[in-house]
Amino acid sequence: MRTFIQAIIEFIKIILGKDKPLVPPIPPVIVVPLTLPHPEEASGTSARTIEDIKLEWFVQWDVPDKYIKFWNTVKIEVTTKVSVADTIAETKHMRINPQWVNQGVLAHEMAHISYALLTEQQKQDFILAYDSVIGAPLLVLLREQKPYSLTSMVEMHAEIYRYLGQSMMTELKLFYPKLF
């Protein structure tokens, strides 16, 4: 039986708001869409020289200082003889169409030179390392948005560096000599 005192206590609880049902606050849901860390640059001729572009690549892809000298020995030819770009990794000779002189294309071609420094065993190990992180969201995104990466493992290697840069999975960085 409810006593007068109990009724008073209940009344005070109501006044103090203690009996109000607790509604947990709903945290705001912020969905940040995943994007490629180094998105595609606009193509087209630019007033920037190949040297300017190379400096931007060094900075934006965080190329280690100790390897800058090595990368400066790559001969870069700006020529309309190629539709986009190509590289003879062994002789470190790169050709880029003037319309495609940008950091991303440079990063892709430089990755081919880095790949050529791997031994045959390391090239096989790269495939295994890639398979071990194949489901990483950034790699899924890369394959979706840049199907050119699926052309071959060599192109995949270059596209991972070009679009992910320092954000690539740690397991893969081992296979990018002189870039990390």
Q: Are 138 and 164 in contact (CB under 8 A)?
A: yes
* Structural contact between residues 80 and 97, judged by C-beta atoms closer than 8 angstroms: yes
Minimal CB distance residue for Zn ion? 158
What minimum distance in Å lies between the beta carbon of 155 and Zn ion? 5
Query: Would you give the end-to-end CA distance of the chain in angstroms?
Result: 78
The residue among 35 and 152 lying less far from Zn ion, judged by its C-beta, is 152
Phi, psi of 122 (to 5 degrees): -65, -35
CB of 30 to Zn ion, least distance (A): 36
Please, which residue, 16 or 150, has the CB nearer to Zn ion?
Answer: 150
**Beta carbons of 101 and 46 less than 8 angstroms apart:** yes
Q: Report the site for Zn ion in 137-166 (rule: CB under 5 A).
A: 158
Q: What angle do CA 139, 176, 150 make, to 5 degrees?
A: 35
Smaller CB distance to Zn ion: residue 78 or 85? Answer: 85
100-139 mask for Zn ion (x: CB under 5 A)? ----------------------------------------
User: Which CB sits closer to Zn ion, 6 or 151?
Assistant: 151
| Positions in 78-97 near Zn ion (CB under 5 A) | none
Does position 63 bind Zn ion by CB under 5 A?
no
The distance of closest approach from Cβ of residue 91 to Zn ion in the complex, given in angstroms and rounded to an integer, is 16
Cβ(123)–Cβ(174) below 8 Å = no
3-state helix, strand, coil in the chain (%, to 5): 55, 5, 40
Interface residues toward Zn ion, by CB under 5 A:
158
